[in-house]
Structure 1
């Protein structure tokens, strides 16, 4: 008997060594997206195949943030476990019947902080999903309200791989930021070796908070003002209703995510995952394209000091900047501004693909007035885009028109 007990002690020591892991800083977009959404106090739903590491990621996140983790398997609970159990008091006629919360909710309230993990959400029947609506949005369980220090994260398997799975109801789906969780080969191998990526909350710059809020509001409002049909768009397909789709609620989530990402200097890849996880791929990509345009330098600033100009590296953004510069010259044609625009085209030619300057150069050449001197920059561009020939043709057309 004593020998068996000792062997169990040795087994416990071995298990402890297996659980003894460390963390290291590592670029991990999906983990960064999760921590930013948690920082923004938005409910997150992780979608992924069974065994992909969703639960392990949440456990590691709770440990890294030093938050107590409370795991609730949604599919094995009754609706009353979330709505509260009725408890008859001394005088129900005057005091009513209070709804008593479950013990895990009481522990979270007492702790004042924690990570509530709602696992197996896609296997919860519709009645349980309905009971979870107040938990996710209003943070209420029975008569209790979860304190601000509690964050909510859920996990679900696609219906095709879930055990007796259900489609997520549209009202519940629209309350989450949806993140597709996939394994990274290097992360898994490194983690099984004992070192996992460190989960850290984004570092918000206090000096950029007001700017971040203004930027986020402008981005969302400008898109919805131009595309009013995107304000609310419930998908017709039942499966897509269980994912991210645009509504006033999810646009508010997207706005908050942009503000937090801006204040934290988050990468565009991470922001893309979050925005598309809030409002869906199509509307999310439109919003991201609008953000790119908002980040572009002002054409007037570039024309005022071409020598100090810095052009975007991405080809589509660079093309938009050059088109904006030419449009600004067309709007207020002056020789100095025309010459400055040619300097910017030369800069674009020297630092990027030559084909990007062909259309702007052709348009700019056509804006030349009779009394404007042809700048030497045109010769720099001639070999790449035949600008000199185009400029001569434009001058001939202008001259012919003036002689008529």
Structure 2
């Protein structure tokens, strides 16, 4: 088959450019992606985000998608190849320094962002930036200042870093810098990679905040965070002793404020539990973050006093751990104010839990409640409805622990 005269006059690189264009011709599709949703929610909340992931995992590709979804120009700055003065500004001597001082001239990328009034600033390879550069970045991330310029509110900041074990000449992140970011662990999804290489990538979509839920979302977030810290004051500030952990998320008044903001945004957007978990653990760390999630669960639990007042119409949570918390709260309420009617009502609630198919959950509360009995209190008939189940559950626990084995 011969080659057309038009094709014969094409330069080799022109044909290569056509092939590259075909390879770059990809589309996107809506797809549930917890990582991408958490990233877009944090960026919408105007918080600096730090993506942690191995090289080649797709962090930069995610940022390109995010910039397109936000309709923001993407400005990439490789932190590791810059000097501290590139972020703090270069001194420029004017006509009369004694009168005018010495202004700090910002770099060209900062000037472009200010002129545009909006943009996505991507600080790449943060973990390979030396301590002096990290110190200069503190003001950029927290105060949005680069030299004498202040970045406009329309600029969002996202950074990326590789773990020290896989970073070339990597450094641990300094605690002050680490505590200014929402840390998200970035991993690859096999199905996403396969479909992406086939030409279809997931689409980054902005969270839809419900205007009617904004006030309730703020109230919920404040109740959750303040309620937890009121009973766990030691969680307000915990600087990790381990150097590596200091370079990640840990609790401080600053990071708790970020967790509160993200909780409000997640509530207003009706985000999934997985997304909320990723965000709060990425601000205050795994332990405090999980405690915050547990505190949110307890906020929706029924009041023990309401249950004791009308056990006949009570409704217990479906989740076993939440049901256990409710039963413990009921028994504790009776212990604080022991009265015959309240004691009887508590037994009715324990029977309700057994009828729901969870006899193992009532073993400990039943034993505690039985110990609260006064001499003049008759044993209620409802106990007969759960005595067999409690006995069976206790024997099962003993067998599992080896206590019921023949000797």
Query: What is the TM-score of this pair, normalised by structure 1?
Result: 0.86
Deviation string 1:280-312 (CA, Å, 9 cap, x unpaired) is: 222223333322322322223334454554432
1:12–1:312 CA distance, 2 compared to 1 (3 A):
farther
Q: 2:184 aligns with which of 176, 179, 188?
A: 179
Q: 1:374 aligns with which of 352, 357, 380?
A: 380
What displacement does 1:365 show? Answer: 4.8
Instruction: Give the Cα–Cα distance (whole angstroms) in 1 for the partners of residues 367 and 161 of structure 2.
Output: 54
SS of 2:28's equivalent in the other structure is: strand
Report which stretch shifted further, 38-47 or 7-16: 7-16
Instruction: Give the Cα–Cα distance (whole angstroms) in 1 for the partners of residues 40 and 313 of structure 2.
Output: 37
1:29–1:270: 8 Å Cα contact kept in structure 2?
yes
Query: Which residue matches 1:160?
Result: 165
Q: 2:124 aligns with which of 115, 119, 122?
A: 119
Report which stretch shifted further, 61-70 or 259-268: 259-268
What displacement does 1:366 show? Answer: 5.2
Instruction: Give the Cα–Cα distance (whole angstroms) in 2 for the partners of residues 41 and 4 of structure 1.
Output: 53
1:374–1:108 CA distance, 2 compared to 1 (3 A):
same
1:292 and 2:286 are equivalent in the alignment = no
Q: 2:288 aligns with which of 278, 283, 286?
A: 283
Query: Which residue matches 1:400?
Result: none
Gaps of 5+ in 2: 1-5, 393-407
What displacement does 1:379 show? Answer: 4.1
SS of 1:70's equivalent in the other structure is: strand
Matches within 5 A, 1:2-401: 3=8, 5=10, 7-306=12-311, 309-332=314-337, 337-338=342-343, 340-365=345-370, 370=376, 374-375=380-381, 377-386=382-391
2:69–2:206: 8 Å Cα contact kept in structure 1?
no
1:313–1:352: 8 Å Cα contact kept in structure 2?
no
What displacement does 1:265 show? Answer: 2.4
What displacement does 1:361 show? Answer: 3.2
Query: Which residue matches 2:403?
Result: none
1:308–1:35 CA distance, 2 compared to 1 (3 A):
farther
SS of 2:201's equivalent in the other structure is: strand
Deviation string 1:301-353 (CA, Å, 9 cap, x unpaired) is: 33445455443233222101111123334444566655544443343224343
Instruction: Give the Cα–Cα distance (whole angstroms) in 2 for the partners of residues 192 and 313 of structure 1.
Output: 42
1:272–1:135 CA distance, 2 compared to 1 (3 A):
same
Instruction: Give the Cα–Cα distance (whole angstroms) in 2 for the partners of residues 26 and 306 of structure 1.
Output: 44
What displacement does 1:239 show? Answer: 1.9
Report which stretch shifted further, 344-353 or 272-281: 344-353
Deviation string 1:218-246 (CA, Å, 9 cap, x unpaired) is: 33333333333332222222222211222
1:191–1:367 CA distance, 2 compared to 1 (3 A):
same
How much is the aligned-residue C-alpha RMSD, in angstroms?
Answer: 2.6
Query: Which residue matches 2:400?
Result: none
Gaps of 5+ in 1: 388-404
Query: What is the TM-score of this pair, normalised by structure 2?
Result: 0.86
Instruction: Give the Cα–Cα distance (whole angstroms) in 2 for the partners of residues 4 and 78 of structure 1.
Output: 48
How many residue pairs were aligned? 386
SS of 1:136's equivalent in the other structure is: helix
Instruction: Give the Cα–Cα distance (whole angstroms) in 2 for the partners of residues 4 and 317 of structure 1.
Output: 74
